[in-house]
């Protein structure tokens, strides 16, 4: 994962932590993009959820689609030992890039959303695309 620790908004840091809890809930040893997306959806008051809603996506339907498609396993690693998959690392690196390009002082949930949308190989990126959430649309909603 990119060295972003101190560069996260409080809400984005919560998403990272929650994504690890989601991976563990599904019995996975690694945090993947769908867990990051579930982490975003866990607290509906963040900027990313507001953007997704403004784009006409029902958050409950999106969450249900993720949970239906998520793989379940038997892993029981503690949350603090969970690593990020290559796809999740790429999504977070793209989030960091988006924040930098927007001259944002910190990486926010909107940047994590952009990273997930741009990381098209991950389950979250594919699912967001199926729901009509694109890079251009998200960028157009940032700052509104």
Residue-averaged pLDDT of the chain: 92
Place of tokens 């239906």: 68
pLDDT tens for residues 71-99?
A: 788 777 788 889 999 999 999 999 999 99
The per-residue pLDDT for 1 is 46
Q: Domain range for residue 14?
A: 5-141
Q: How far is it, in rounded angstroms, from Cα 71 to Cα 134?
A: 24
Q: How far is it, in rounded angstroms, from Cα 137 to Cα 81?
A: 35
pLDDT tens for residues 10-27?
A: 999 999 999 999 999 999
CA-to-CA dists, residue 26 to 48, 61, 115, 123, angstroms: 23, 19, 22, 15
pLDDT tens for residues 110-127?
A: 999 999 999 988 999 999
The CATH number of residue 121's host domain is 1.10.1780.10
- The answer to whether 95 touches 109, Cβ cutoff 8 Å, is no
Strand partners, 24: none
Q: Count structural domains, the chain.
A: 1
The model's pTM is 0.92
């Amino acid at each position: 994962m990119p060295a972003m620790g101190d560069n996260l908004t409080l809400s984005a840091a919560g998403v990272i932590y929650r994504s690890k809890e989601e991976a563990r809930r599904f019995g996975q040893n690694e945090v993947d993009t769908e867990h990051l997306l579930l982490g975003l959806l866990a607290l509906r008051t963040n900027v990313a959820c507001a953007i997704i809603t403004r784009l006409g996506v029902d958050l409950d339907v999106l969450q249900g689609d993720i949970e239906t498609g998520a793989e379940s396993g038997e892993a029981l690693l503690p949350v603090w030992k969970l690593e990020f998959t290559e796809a999740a690392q790429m999504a977070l690196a793209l989030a960091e890039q988006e924040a930098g390009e927007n001259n944002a002082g910190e990486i926010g949930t909107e940047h994590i959303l952009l990273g997930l949308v741009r990381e098209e190989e991950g389950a979250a990126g594919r699912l967001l695309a199926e729901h009509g959430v694109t890079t251009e649309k998200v960028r157009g909603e940032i700052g509104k």
